[in-house]
Amino acid sequence: MDRPIVVVDADKAQCQKLCTLLERSNYRTVPSHSLTNLERPVEEGPLQVVILDLDTLPVDNRFIVDLRRENPGVRIMGLSNRRFHPELQEAISKHFYACLYKPVDTDELFFWLRSIWENGPNYGRDSGD
C-alpha cells in the first residue's frame, strides 16, 4: 500500500483509536477531524481510501459526489451506529466501497482493506459520473 488511509472522525479519541488499530497492522494513516481537511490534497497524492464516521460528520450526497469527482479512484468506507441512512442512500449505493457497523469488527475492516489493495485502485465501482 503506497498511500495512507485517511480516517475522518470528529471524535478525536475515536479517530485515534481506529488509526492506532490500523497502524498496528502496518497501514499508514492520516487522522482528520473535519471534512474541510479533505479539500486539501494529501501530500502523498490522490486519495485511495477514506474512512468516514457518518455519525460525527455532516456528510451529504453532494459532498460524496464531489469527493469522488475530485478523487476518482478513492474508495470510501463509512462507519456508523445506524444501519440505515436514508439521507445518504444514493451516495452509499453508488459511491461507497463498504459501510461498517460500529463498533468496528476488525476482521471485517481488514477484509475490506485487503480487497482494496489486492484488487488495485481501479477495482470495484466506477466513479458514478
| Whole-number Cα distances in Å, 11 to 3, 61, 69, 85 | 23, 21, 27, 19
For residue 126, is it within any domain? Answer: no
Provide the domain limits for residue 102: 5-119
For residue 69, is it within any domain? Answer: yes
pLDDT of residue 90: 80
Least confident of 52-56, 65-69, 84-88, 95-99: 84-88
Q: How many structural domains compose the chain?
A: 1
| Whole-number Cα distances in Å, 108 to 8, 49, 60, 71, 115 | 19, 15, 25, 24, 11
For residue 70, is it within any domain? Answer: yes
CATH code of 48's domain: 3.40.50.2300
For residue 128, is it within any domain? Answer: no
Q: What gap in Å lies between CA 118 and CA 123, rounded to an integer? A: 9
Q: Which helix (H) or strand (E) holds 118?
A: helix 106-119
Q: Percent of the chain scored above 70 by pLDDT? A: 84
For residue 129, is it within any domain? Answer: no
pTM of the model: 0.85
For residue 119, name the pLDDT band (cuts at 50, 70, 90).
Answer: confident
Please give the single-letter amino acid code of residue 29. Answer: T
